[in-house]
Amino acid sequence: MNRWFVAALITLALIVLVSPGIVGRLAEKSVEENLNFAASDSDEIVVTTESFVRGWFTSEGRHRIALRDGPVRALFEDETGGEAPSLVIETHVDHGLVPVTSVSRESGSLMPGLASTVSTMKIDAGNGEIFELPGKIYSEVGLTGEITSRFLMGAGAKAIDDTALEWQGADVTVRANPSSGSISYEGKVLPFSFLDERGGPRFGTMTIEGEQTRSRFGFNVGTAKIELDSLTVETSDGPGAAFGRFAVDARNELDGDRVNATTKLLVSGIPAPALGDIDIVVDVVLNGLDAISLHEIVDSLQNTQSSGDPQEALANLYPLIEADLQRLLSSGLEVRFDKLNIALPDGELTTNLRFELPASDSADDFSWPALLLALDASADVRMPVKLFDIVEVLNPDLTMLVAMGVLKKEDDYYEMHAEYAKGLVTVNGAPMPIPLPGM
């Protein structure tokens, strides 16, 4: 027999038989790193390893994801009179460069890597009750520690106290790499509901998609999308309010030491008494935010949330962020509402807003009056006459805006074009003092 062939067989045998024990320790570390990485975006969450029994070919781990000591946990404990609820994840690990033991279970794989795992989840209510969560998480841990996890859940139902839960299933995939700080996800959650004797919500199909990477400034950049095709709130008397589609598309990116971000929001089919169903569209753009200042402000806000006394911390927040806020504004930025539209059966109210601050020479000379003088802003509003007539009945003071020239009738619409520059406001071509009369 060819000696190179024999050598290959021996090498393969070593990989299959010897590597699991060696790789098991690496797999344990990788599983814990990925759990901590997934929870790292929240200061309120802590991951604890309760047990990890490592065998030669397989291991069993148990991890608990709980709320960290703080106001959020205290709120839960005050409401329940016991411990705050936590999530318990139990994981079976098949490890080895070739995880041969995984082929005997569902979704097993011989794909080379550190480990192939399957996890189940439970909710520990904190009062001694344990609730098994439906579905399982199937994961593959790569050679460099990256993990691909797929959550699969079939249809089912469960009664908890006086609440009936029903779900049709879910399929969500998450890919994470702690070393690069990146995470991506995509998937679909089929309709589900929570109903008791008073009624409750019925959610339609939900889709999610996103990709995030930890930036050098400590916050994530990337994309995030979520869409819910319907929501019905039932009452004991029968079908209640029915909402249409809800969708959010957000993305942000770094341009050097600046942050650019956009967020698009759509909410359709909002029931409104006497007006009919309403659709809302919002399109917000942020350009040129100073990344360092933004990071410091976000950190201060997070510290406020995790404070032992959030109300006192919030009252003392401004002195903590004042310097960073001034630096952020002095560095220059642009804020735009390209769309702030409300559509009704009688027409659509459209609004466009823009605020732009040029960069100043130094944040050391910051002053609010100088900031207001440097501000360049504009606003455009267009309202159908039919909608104006309806709103006027609810708020007769709206007529004053027409008399002042703030709203100008053009065909079937009332319009306003306002500009602000160097301390002067111009509305529909006419200069107006600040503040506006009667406002």
pLDDT, tens digit, 9 for 90 and up, residues 21-62: 434 444 556 666 656 655 555 566 777 888 878 776 778 888
Which two tokens mark 166? Answer: 């029903």
Indicate whether 167 belongs to any domain: no
Confidence of residue 286 (pLDDT cuts 50, 70, 90): very high
Q: Any idea which of 244-248, 289-293, 305-309 has the lowest mean pLDDT?
A: 305-309
Average of pLDDT values for 365-385?
A: 89
Q: Looking at the domain assignment, is residue 298 inside a domain?
A: no
Torsions phi, psi for 147 (to 5 deg): -130, 135
Whose tokens are 């319009």? That residue is 415
Burial of 98 (0-12, 13-18, 19+ CB in 10 A): buried
Q: What does the DSSP assignment read for 328-344?
A: HHHT-EEEEEEEEEEEE
223: in domain: no
- Percent of the chain past pLDDT 90, that is, above it, reads 29
Give the SS3 label for residue 267: strand
* Residue with more model confidence, 3 or 88: 88
Q: Taking residues 396-406, what's their average pLDDT? A: 82
**How does the average pLDDT of the chain come out, rounded?**
79
**pLDDT reading at 213 higher than 70:** yes
Percentage above 70 pLDDT, the chain: 76
Q: How far is CA 81 from the centre of its chain?
A: 30
pLDDT at 301: 77
Query: Would you state the pLDDT for residue 24?
Result: 45
d(CA 205, CA 208): 10
Looking at residue 420, its pLDDT comes to 93
Give Cα separations from 84 to 48, 69, 126, 298, 302 (angstroms): 15, 10, 5, 26, 21
Q: Is residue 166 part of a domain?
A: no
Cα–Cα distance, 426 to 420 (Å, whole number): 6
Domain encompassing residue 59:
1-147
Task: Evaluate if residue 368 carries a pLDDT over 60.
Answer: yes
State both tokens at 438: 């009667």
Give Cα 31 to chain centroid, integer Å: 24
SS3 content of the chain, % helix, strand, coil (to 5): 25, 50, 25
Torsion, CA 10, CA 11, CA 17, CA 19, rounded to 10: 160
Of the residues 123, 147, 171, the one at which a domain ends: 147
Number of domains in the chain: 2
Dist CA 23 CA 104 (whole Å): 20
Query: For residue 145, what is the DSSP state?
Result: S
CA distances from 369 to 17, 288, 328 (A): 74, 22, 16
The answer to whether the predicted template modeling score (pTM) of the entire model surpasses 0.85 is no
For residue 257, being part of any structural domain is answered with no
**3-class SS at 405?**
coil
Domain boundary among 147, 169, 193: 147
Asked whether residue 266 is domain-assigned, the answer is no
Report the alpha-carbon distance of residue 382 to residue 118 in Å, rounded: 56
- Write down which residue in 122, 147, 172 finishes a domain: 147
